């Protein structure tokens, strides 16, 4: 896989994988994927557009709070979408607007599911809040500081 070639060829390169790997629903193999990334300490993940507390919890549990960054995905965080399981394609997202990245046939068939959906950043923040609130009180401040500031400051050097 090209990812492992890149991290092995450039061991000091800091990489941020967006959307917690684009798994918006817990799926088979997710835990194993996070575990495969864990040994590479220069690889981080952001949680942009990920509204799953389960996926977020799994990432924090395996990689630790020092490897997860808050990701707004601005301006895409203003997208209103919902996730669903397509009978043949598996987990998918559909928005209430036919963006270029939304399959036209799927939009016609599943677009109604996104009616009334909230902006994705609210779901993203709610998933983080649920994960952090489930932690022991003594850990919460440190986890929030890392995810919302310290990790980005370290990765991006500000």
For residue 70, which of 151, 147, 154 has the smallest C-alpha distance?
147
Length of the chain: 158
Residue 75 has pLDDT above 90, yes or no: no
Cα radius of gyration (the chain): 16
pLDDT band per the 50, 70, 90 thresholds, residue 73: confident
Structural domains in the chain plus CATH codes: 2-75+119-156 (3.20.20.140), 80-117 (no CATH)
pLDDT band per the 50, 70, 90 thresholds, residue 85: confident
For the segment 73-92, the average pLDDT, to the nearest whole number, is: 83
Mean pLDDT score of the chain, rounded to an integer?
90
Burial letters for 83-103: b for 16+ Cβ neighbours within 10 Å, e otherwise? Answer: bbeeeeeeebbbbbeeeeebe
* Tens-place pLDDT, residues 106-140: 999 999 999 999 888 888 899 999 999 999 999 99
């Amino acid at each position: 896989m090209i990812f492992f070639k890149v991290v092995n060829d450039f061991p000091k390169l800091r990489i941020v994988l967006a959307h917690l790997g684009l798994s918006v629903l817990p799926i088979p193999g997710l835990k194993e994927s996070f575990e495969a990334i864990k040994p590479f300490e220069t690889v981080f993940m952001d949680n942009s557009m990920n509204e799953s507390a389960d996926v977020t919890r799994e990432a924090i549990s395996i990689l630790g709070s020092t490897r997860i960054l808050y990701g707004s995905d601005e301006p895409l965080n203003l997208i209103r979408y919902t996730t669903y399981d397509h009978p043949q394609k598996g987990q998918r997202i559909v928005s209430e607007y036919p963006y270029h990245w939304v399959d036209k046939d799927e939009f016609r068939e599943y677009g109604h599911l996104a009616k009334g959906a909230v902006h994705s950043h609210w779901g993203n923040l709610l998933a983080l809040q649920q994960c952090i609130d489930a932690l022991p009180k003594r850990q919460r401040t440190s986890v929030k500081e890392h995810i919302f500031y310290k990790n980005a400051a370290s990765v991006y050097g500000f």
